[in-house]
Amino acid sequence: MGTIEGFQPSFEKDGPAGGAVAPPVVKLYGTTTSPYTRKIRLLTRAAGLPVTMVDTRTAEGADALAHIAPLGKVPVIEMGPPGPAGALDDGAPRVLADSGLIAAWLWARHAPALRAAGFELSPDDWSGRALTVAVEGALDAAINRFYLLRDKLPDQGYVSRQADRVATTLAWLDAHMPAFARPLSGATLSLGCALDWIVFRGMADLPRFGRLVAFREAWTASGVGVGTEPG
Ligand SMILES: N[C@@H](CCC(=O)N[C@@H](CS)C(=O)NCC(=O)O)C(=O)O
């Protein structure tokens, strides 16, 4: 039997003209080492939202990313097909290029599923958001330093100041971050992903920070991130 050109399998919901409507295809651009991409892999999995991962370490993936996201950072999600003005029916842009933005979008659209999976990402959690800024500031500094050292820049000046920033912020988090608990807040998710990446890349001396070590042990034991570990 031949194939019908343009054939789309039918889905439960009918479109305005009675035709079958395909669910939007969600592409997730990223890598399996990226801690920010990991946040989104975890959340889309918890939300039950199927995504097609585009590995941006391949030439095709990097090229596709460059076409949709000027910053060239990951994660990026791209949703399709486009509405008339390049936006989704609900007005959200088709391309979201920041893990915090993507997480907020997922919470806005999939809170019941995320709650059922043990997450609580309310935007009204101001102290949690403040903690997330600290976690991700340290992670940004660690990632920046990692790339600069990999490119053989000497470990001095701004490169070594980034190490100081990571250490001072981890010390602050060691004193201020609540213990790992459920439901998982955005700060908990960020810290779990950040600590795993920092250890994976050897970008800080984690054993100096006893409460963060305990946090990471509880995070690992929870199984929340299982199957998405950096590697
Ligand atoms: N604020 C961004 C940070 C994303 C980010 O820094 N991603 C890293 C990978 S984990 C990246 O793409 N780095 C490439 C670069 O800086 O050139 C987010 O939350 O998504």
pLDDT per position as a tens digit, 51-92: 999 999 999 999 999 999 999 999 999 998 755 555 666 677
Q: Is ligand 1 within 6 A of the CB of residue 99? A: yes
pTM tops 0.85, yes or no? yes
Q: Is ligand 1 within 6 A of the CB of residue 44? A: no
Interval 199-222: pLDDT, tens: 999 999 999 999 999 999 999 999
* Least confident among 23-37, 111-125, 176-190, 206-220: 23-37
Q: Express as a percent the part of the chain with pLDDT over 70.
A: 85
Q: If you measure from the C-alpha of residue 14 to the centroid of ligand 1, how many angstroms do you get, rounded to a whole number?
A: 38
- The dotted CATH code for 25-112 is 3.40.30.10
- pLDDT-derived band at 50 (thresholds 50, 70, 90) equals very high
Query: Exposed, middle or buried: residue 93 (CB in 10 Å: 0-12, 13-18, 19+)?
Result: middle
Interval 96-132: pLDDT, tens: 999 999 999 999 999 999 999 999 999 999 999 999 9
Indicate the domain borders of the chain: 25-112, 126-222
3-state secondary structure 48-107: CCCCEEEECCCHHHHHHHHHHCCCCCCCEEEEECCCCCCECCCCCECEECCHHHHHHHHH
Mean pLDDT of the chain: 90
pLDDT at position 48: 96
Res 20 pLDDT > 80: no
**Which residue owns the Cα nearest ligand 1 atom 11?**
73
pLDDT at position 15: 45
- The dotted CATH code for 126-222 is 1.20.1050.10
